[in-house]
Structure formats: C-alpha cells, structure tokens
C-alpha cells in the first residue's frame, strides 16, 4: 500500500475507538481527593485522651518534665497569631496516670495542643524539647489556601472536558463522521469465505479489480462504478460480502451505519456526510461502506416538516457529495439494504449507484457451498451428507445455515459426542424451523388426535406426490406452538408452482382435519394453521395467479415489503360483486380438496391406523416408514433412537437444557398441529 493510503495512526490498545468514560476511575479519583482534603483539614482528636493547654500551662509542663524531647513534639509558626505565634502539638505525661494502679483505660501519655504567642524568655525553653517547623513563605501560604480549589477544578476537567473530548462528543465534534477505517490483516475475510452468491461476487470484484489495476478498464474507455447498492433479504450475506471486499481491496476501507448520520441536533447528519467524504478524498482511492442505508436514504416527500426535515437534509448532502459539482473521484460507495422500495429515486440513478446487486436466498447449490464453507470450522462425522442437508433446508439464508451447524454442534456436545452426526443436524433443523422440543406431557386422547392428524398429512402427501416433495419425517413430539409436525424434503428448489401441485398442497393441508373427522367423529382447533395455509394458497390462485375461470386478472393490490417477508394492507380495486365471486371460488377450491382428502383417507384407512399406531409407539417415523406402511401395511425398517451417554458428567449445556425445559413447560398452546405444508411464495 502506498504511503498516502496508509490509515492515520491510532492510539494503541483501543483499536482506534474513542476512549469511553470509566465509572471506576471516577470513584477512585473521588476517594483520593476526599482523603487529601480530609487529612489536610483534619483537627487533632479532641477526645478524653487529648489535652488543650494554654501557653502558660505548656511552659509549666516543660518545666515540670511532663514534656520531654523524646516525645517529638512540633511547634509550628502560626501567622494569624502574630510574629511570635505558634501552634504546638505533641505528647505529654498524663496527669491522671498512676503507675501503682493497673487501670489499662488510663494511658501513660496523651496528646496535647496549644496555640498562642511565646515570650522571648519562654521560647528557648520550649524549643529545647520541641522541634520548630520552618516558617512558610507567602507563596506557600497562598498555594496551600488554593490547593483544594485547584483539586476540584482538576476533577471537573477530568470528568467533563477530557472525557467529552476523548469520546468525540465535544461541542466541536458533532459534525465529525463516525466512519471507521478497517485494517487488513491475515484474519480478514476474502471472497473465498463468501459462497452462494457468485453473481454478486463478480459484480463487486470488478470494483476491486479496477482499484488494483485501473488501466485495464481505462484503456478501452471504461470508468469505475461510483456506487454499488446491495439489496436482499436479511441474512443473505450483504455485510459479509462488504467485509470480503475490505479483505480483498488494497485500498483504505471505511465502514459506517446509516443510523450514524441521524442525530438529535439539526445539521449534524449533513455535516457528518461531508466529513465522511472529506476523509475519503484524503485517502483516495478508497471504499466507503454504508450499512442499512435506508435509515438515511428514505424517499423524500411533502410530509410533516416539508423539505426541512433533518433526514432530508442529510440525504440532500449525500446526493450532492455522490454526484454534485465537486464530485468524489476515487471514493466508491458500497451500500446495503433490505428495503430498496423505500429509497429515494435520486439516490438510485446512475452516477450515484451505478449498480444494484441483488443477493437473494441461496438455491440448492448455493446452500451446499455455504455449508461447505462453514463446515470447515466444525468437526463433522464422515457420514454427514451436506448435499442432503442442503436439500432439507429450502428457504434458509446463509446466516440460517451457519446457525444450523452451530446448533448441531451444541446438540452433539449435549450428547457427549466428539463429532457432529447427521441426526444432530436434523434435530437442529427441526429446532430452527419448528422450535424447541416441548416435553410437556399429553394425555392419551390428545396424543391419539395428534397422531391421526399428522398421519393424515403424511399419508395424503405420499399418495398425491409426484416425486418432487416426498415425506421426510413425521413426529408427534411438540415443538414451538404445535404438538406435531410433518416435514417434506423437496428434490429441488421450485421456481414455478403448477396448478396441480398447488391443489395437491391444499389436499395435503386438509389431511389432518379429514383424519380427525374420520377417526374421532369430531373436529378440533388443531387445524387452524392448516386452514390459514390452504386459504392463502387458494386466494393466491384466484387473485394473483389467474388459475380459475375468473380469468387471468389480478384482483387487489397488496403492499409487499421487499425482502422483508411481510405484507401490508392492500387495497381492493374491484366491486363488491367481484369480491363475492372471489370468496366463492376460494371456498370451492378448498372444499373440493377437502372432500378429496376424505376419499383418500377412507380408501387407505388401514394404512392410516397403522401409521397412527406407529407414531403413538415411536413418536417419530421417517419418510421411508410412511412408504412402507402405504405399500406393505407395516414398517420394515428399524427406528434408531438416540440415547444420552450416562458416563460423562453433566455439562453446562445440560443445565441450560433443564432451564429451557422449565420455560417450555410453562408455555401455553392454542392449536394442535403446526404448519406442516409450506405455502408457496408468489412468483
């Protein structure tokens, strides 16, 4: 790195961070000051063992031998009493002491003090047994008088002025940017540590290549992108990719959050933007990374405050710095957000953010690559099939997959294992997707209803599935808000949803309610989640995907929050008559598949009973067992149950497990079964 690009020197030991106020230092400082002042103004003890003498009594005591030289008394000049005034302290014989008495409460010697003017005839006598202190100068007297005030002023300076300056919050520091320069070291992340987003890496790697070798692009007329905006759902690796850019780039890298620009004082945000670009120009070429830019880059409008809003002033300053008259040659902005829909259009135009890089949830291959990267940091058994794990985790982000391996490691340690096995990762996946196991005891009736409910889901899915999403596991062990769950494993990621498969999903979703009605003769609230799921699919089929005879028309305008997985209140752009038709179509779709699920379960009633019995006996069965029961009427593959090793002492994780168990036992539950069949995402 060239000399001009080296970061400014920072104080050692604090990683360049501002020194923070330490309450312990304040306490120690106050104790020291109090002790000094107390000792300075302390008066001799005026208790029973202290004698206050006049000058005449002092002279008589010296003459009588009550005060001797060995007592090391001190006579100190006292200017307030005149030129011959003295303050005298020391030890003297106790007049009340009797050597013939054995009263230990009466000391042989006591303290004495005396103040007054010594006559010339008595001065030599007193000085013969007492030590005379040198007379202080006028300067010393003034210094001693003002010493307490100087200590108080020093304390105030230490507490307020110095701490405010070191914390960067002084009156002259509000406009200073909070951007931190990252140092490149051997532990820095690189592009090798980022997986599952190859296209995004190519986009940002061109920026790094341009900084390393600008002539490669300039000789054919290319110019470096002035800004790169990374958008995507939470946990997909936007900030991680920015850290990898910092590790790859051989130029200064500044990092700041969008919320750091927002302050309670007017004009501070704009000043910090200007200061950030000023630092960037001094260290050009450099990269500035703004995380969560939506905190400062929201769309402007004529709302409360009009154009005088502090946030808008900050945004205006950012727009000018990114592409104004002065320009910002050599300063490249990389920003990240999961709310691109709220950003101002002026911020997104070419010349400011020339590129928008979308980092979406990883596909099957991407999940496998991410697992391979994170698997290097944990001890995996040879039997672990990461491709199988990737297939079993659709919809997981990179952060979710990292958490999956970490949870697997914690579970393996809880069972006193040396490596992570496949069943540990399966349990970790269930914990992340459905919640922690709840060891609440259920009565026989609830267990029976739950077993038939889950068996109904699994049986119908095994019958209607065309091979793209077989049953993975069925369990009646309570997790989260459900007493049981049925899990599927898609063969591949689905980008489109056909009408036939959507109807099969609705049929599978109604399998639990149908099984309850057939076996128990009654229905329960356990199907509440299933009903919401199938209703959502049917509504999408009618209103969004045009899969009914109402035609390929979009009914209603929903407000989807980009990459946040939430949906706001939409507006109905159709008449009341059309709304009735929509409701009727939704009812017809769900009711038809409900009747279909009843027919399938009645046709395979024996398999339904056998599957429910196996669930009541083993609590959990795999997809292969479901197929065996459907084809042969019985399970032929063994069920392997894990057992906790009893030889090892109880670990801290087991203590935490007991605490979590107690919390889970105190939780309440509304329904029976959980969300067994995931609803498709609108294309």
Tens digits of per-residue pLDDT, 370-383? 999 999 889 999 88
The catalytic position among 312, 321, 421, 454 is 454
Q: Which two tokens stand for residue 677?
A: 């069949």
Instruction: Specify whether the CB–CB gap between 333 and 276 falls below 8 A.
Output: no
* pLDDT of 2: 42
Number of structural domains (the chain) is 4
Same domain, 449 and 351: no
pLDDT interval class at 567 (50, 70, 90): low
pLDDT at 168 over 50: no
pLDDT interval class at 679 (50, 70, 90): very low
pLDDT interval class at 419 (50, 70, 90): very high
Poorest-confidence range of 187-196, 588-597, 608-617?
187-196
* pLDDT of 354: 83
Instruction: Please list, residue by residue across 466-495, b when 16 or more beta carbons sit within 10 angstroms of its beta carbon and e when fewer do.
Output: eeebbbbbbbbbbbbbbbbbbbbebeebee
* Mean per-residue pLDDT over the chain, rounded: 77
Q: What is the CATH number of the domain that holds 591?
A: 1.20.58.760
Comparing CA positions, the residue from 500, 528, 501, 488 lying closest to residue 512 is: 528
Cα 68 → chain centroid: 74
Q: Please give the DSSP secondary-structure letter assigned to residue 525.
A: G
Of 477 and 154, the structure prediction assigns the larger pLDDT to 477
Distance CA 402, CA 391 (A): 15
In a domain, 224, yes or no: yes
Other CB atoms within 10 A of residue 319 CB: 18
Give counts: helices (H), strands (E), the chain. 23, 16
Other CB atoms within 10 A of residue 658 CB: 11
Poorest-confidence range of 298-302, 460-464, 580-584?
298-302
Distance CA 54, CA 62 (A): 12
Comparing CA positions, the residue from 365, 358, 361, 363 lying closest to residue 203 is: 358
* pLDDT of 664: 42
Poorest-confidence range of 92-106, 389-403, 424-438?
92-106
pLDDT at 23 over 60: yes
The structure tokens 């090793």 sit at 645
Mean pLDDT of 102-115: 73
Q: What is the CATH number of the domain that holds 296?
A: 3.40.50.300
pLDDT interval class at 150 (50, 70, 90): confident
Mean pLDDT of 275-286: 83
DSSP 30-72: HHHHHHHHHHHHPPPP-STTEEEE-HHHHHHHHHTTSS-GGG-
Q: Which residues pair with 561 in a beta bridge?
A: 566
* pLDDT of 677: 39
Instruction: Specify whether the CB–CB gap between 408 and 428 falls below 8 A.
Output: yes
User: Helices 511-519 and 499-509, interaxial angle, to 10°?
Assistant: 40
Q: Which residues pair with 130 in a beta bridge?
A: 73
* pLDDT of 648: 45
Poorest-confidence range of 199-213, 482-496, 631-645?
631-645
Beta-sheet strand order (sheet of 85-93): 50-53, 109-117, 85-93, 73-77, 130-132
Mean pLDDT of 295-301: 82
Counting residues of the chain whose pLDDT is more than 90, the rounded percentage is 20
Same domain, 470 and 420: no
Catalytic site includes residue 517: no
Helix (H) or strand (E) holding 182: strand 180-182
pLDDT interval class at 587 (50, 70, 90): very high
Mean pLDDT of 486-511: 89
pLDDT at 596 over 80: yes
Mean pLDDT of 185-203: 79
pLDDT at 278 over 70: yes
Tens digits of residue pLDDT in 244-275: 887 887 788 888 888 777 765 666 778 888 88
In a domain, 11, yes or no: no
Q: Which of 589, 607, 632 is the last residue of a domain?
A: 632
Same domain, 415 and 322: no
Same domain, 486 and 526: yes
3-state secondary structure of 571: strand
Same domain, 386 and 349: no
Q: What is the CATH number of the domain that holds 416?
A: 1.10.8.60
Q: Please give the DSSP secondary-structure letter assigned to residue 19.
A: P
Same domain, 61 and 125: yes
pLDDT interval class at 641 (50, 70, 90): low
First-to-last CA distance in the chain?
Answer: 47
Comparing CA positions, the residue from 377, 411, 1, 418 lying closest to residue 189 is: 377
In a domain, 647, yes or no: no
pLDDT interval class at 654 (50, 70, 90): very low
Mean pLDDT of 12-24: 50
Q: Provide the CB-side half-sphere exposure for 331 (13 A, CA).
A: 25
Q: Is 20 exposed, middle or buried (0-12, 13-18, 19+ CB in 10 A)?
A: exposed
Same domain, 546 and 623: yes
Distance CA 278, CA 291 (A): 19
Counting residues of the chain whose pLDDT is more than 70, the rounded percentage is 73
Q: Which residues pair with 288 in a beta bridge?
A: 254, 333
Task: Please indicate, yes or no, whether the overall pTM of this predicted structure exceeds 0.85.
Answer: no
Mean pLDDT of 594-619: 93
Same domain, 471 and 408: no
* pLDDT of 597: 95
pLDDT at 44 over 60: no
In a domain, 509, yes or no: yes
* pLDDT of 519: 92
Is the bond leading into 285 cis (omega within 30 degrees of zero)?
Answer: yes
In a domain, 255, yes or no: yes
In a domain, 161, yes or no: no
Instruction: Specify whether the CB–CB gap between 497 and 466 falls below 8 A.
Output: no
* pLDDT of 668: 37
* pLDDT of 302: 53
Q: Which two tokens stand for residue 33?
A: 């000051």
Longest dimension (CA), the chain: 132
Comparing CA positions, the residue from 602, 606, 652 lying closest to residue 630 is: 606
3-state secondary structure of 75: strand
Percentage helix, strand, coil, to 5, in the chain?
50, 15, 40
* pLDDT of 183: 62
Of 149 and 458, the structure prediction assigns the larger pLDDT to 458
Same domain, 292 and 353: yes
Poorest-confidence range of 38-52, 246-260, 455-469, 591-605?
38-52
Q: Which residues pair with 471 in a beta bridge?
A: 488
Same domain, 494 and 594: yes
Other CB atoms within 10 A of residue 378 CB: 14
Q: Which two tokens stand for residue 479?
A: 């997790």
Distance CA 80, CA 78 (A): 6
Instruction: Specify whether the CB–CB gap between 512 and 529 falls below 8 A.
Output: no
Same domain, 585 and 463: yes
Other CB atoms within 10 A of residue 8 CB: 10
In a domain, 154, yes or no: no
Poorest-confidence range of 56-70, 198-212, 288-302, 663-677?
663-677
Same domain, 327 and 370: no
Of 665 and 248, the structure prediction assigns the larger pLDDT to 248
DSSP 442-511: --HHHHHHHHHHHHHHHHHHHHH--SSS-EEEEE-S-BTTBSBEEEE--SS--SS--HHHHHHHHHHHTH
Tens digits of residue pLDDT in 515-542: 999 998 888 888 999 999 999 999 999 9
3-state secondary structure of 245: helix
In a domain, 82, yes or no: yes
Instruction: Please list, residue by residue across 283-307, b when 16 or more beta carbons sit within 10 angstroms of its beta carbon and e when fewer do.
Output: bbbbbbbbbbbbbbbbebeeeeeee
* pLDDT of 401: 93
Domain containing 130 equals 51-96+106-135
């Amino acid at each position: 790195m060239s000399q001009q690009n080296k970061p400014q020197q920072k104080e050692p030991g604090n990683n360049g961070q501002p020194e923070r106020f330490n309450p312990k230092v304040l306490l120690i400082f106050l104790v020291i000051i109090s002790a000094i002042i107390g000792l300075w103004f302390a008066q001799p003890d005026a208790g029973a063992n202290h004698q206050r003498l006049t000058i005449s009594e002092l002279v008589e005591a010296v003459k009588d031998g009550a005060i001797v030289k060995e007592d090391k008394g001190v006579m100190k000049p006292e200017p307030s009493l005149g030129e011959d005034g003295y303050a005298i302290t020391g030890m003297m014989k106790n007049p009340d002491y009797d050597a013939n008495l054995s009263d230990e409460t009466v000391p042989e010697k006591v303290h004495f003090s005396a103040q007054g003017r010594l006559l010339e005839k008595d001065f030599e006598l007193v000085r013969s047994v007492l030590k005379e202190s040198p007379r202080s100068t006028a300067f010393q007297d003034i210094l001693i008088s003002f010493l307490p005030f100087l200590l108080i002023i020093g304390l105030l300076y230490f507490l307020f002025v110095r701490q405010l300056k070191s914390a960067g919050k002084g009156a002259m520091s509000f406009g200073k940017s909070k951007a931190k320069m990252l140092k490149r070291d051997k532990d820095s992340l690189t592009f090798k540590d980022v997986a599952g987003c190859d296209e995004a890496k190519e986009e940002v790697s061109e920026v790094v290549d341009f900084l390393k070798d600008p002539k490669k692009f300039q000789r054919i007329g290319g110019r470096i992108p002035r800004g790169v905006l990374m958008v995507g759902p939470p946990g997909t690796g936007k900030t991680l990719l920015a850290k990898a850019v910092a590790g790859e780039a051989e130029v200064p890298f500044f990092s700041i959050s969008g919320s750091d620009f927002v302050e309670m004082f007017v004009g501070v945000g704009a000043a910090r933007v200007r200061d950030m670009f000023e630092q960037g120009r001094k260290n050009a070429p450099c990269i500035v990374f703004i995380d969560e830019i939506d905190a400062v880059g929201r769309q402007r409008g004529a709302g409360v405050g009009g154009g005088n809003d502090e946030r808008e002033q900050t945004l205006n300053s950012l727009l000018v710095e990114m592409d104004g008259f002065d320009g910002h040659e050599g300063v490249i902005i990389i920003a990240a957000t999961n709310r691109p829909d709220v950003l101002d259009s002026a911020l997104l135009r070419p010349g400011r953010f020339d590129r928008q890089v979308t980092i979406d949830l990883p596909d099957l291959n991407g999940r496998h690559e991410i697992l391979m990267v994170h698997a290097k940091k944990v001890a995996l058994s040879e039997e672990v099939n990461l491709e199988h794990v990737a297939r079993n985790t659709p919809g997981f982000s990179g952060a979710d997959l990292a958490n999956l391996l970490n949870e697997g490691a914690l579970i393996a340690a809880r069972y006193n294992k040396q490596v992570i096995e496949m069943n540990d990762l399966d349990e970790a996946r269930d914990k992340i997707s459905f919640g922690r196991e709840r060891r609440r005891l259920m009565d026989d009736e609830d267990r029976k209803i739950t077993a038939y409910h889950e068996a109904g889901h699994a049986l119908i899915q095994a019958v209607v599935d065309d091979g793209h999403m077989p049953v993975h596991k069925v369990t009646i062990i309570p997790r989260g808000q459900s007493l049981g769950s049925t899990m599927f494993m898609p063969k591949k990621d689905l980008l489109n949803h056909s009408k036939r498969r959507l109807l099969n999903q609705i049929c599978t979703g109604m399998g639990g309610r149908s099984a309850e009605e057939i076996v128990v003769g009654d229905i329960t609230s356990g199907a509440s989640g299933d009903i919401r799921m199938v209703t959502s699919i049917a509504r999408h089929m009618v209103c969004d995907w045009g899969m009914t005879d109402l035609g390929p028309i979009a009914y209603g305008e929903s407000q989807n929050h980009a990459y946040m997985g939430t949906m706001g209140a939409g507006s109905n752009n159709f008449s009341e008559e059309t709304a009735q038709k929509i409701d009727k179509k939704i009812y017809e779709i769900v009711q038809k598949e409900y009747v279909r699920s009843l027919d399938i379960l009645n046709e395979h009633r024996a398999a339904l009973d056998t599957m429910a019995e196996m669930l009541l006996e083993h609590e959990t069965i795999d997809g292969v067992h479901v197929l065996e029961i459907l084809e042969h009427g019985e399970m032929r593959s063994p069920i392997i149950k894990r057992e906790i090793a009893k030889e090892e002492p109880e670990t801290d994780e087991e203590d935490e497990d007991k605490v979590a168990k107690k919390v889970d036992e105190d939780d309440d539950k509304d329904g029976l079964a959980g969300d067994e069949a995931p609803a498709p995402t609108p294309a």
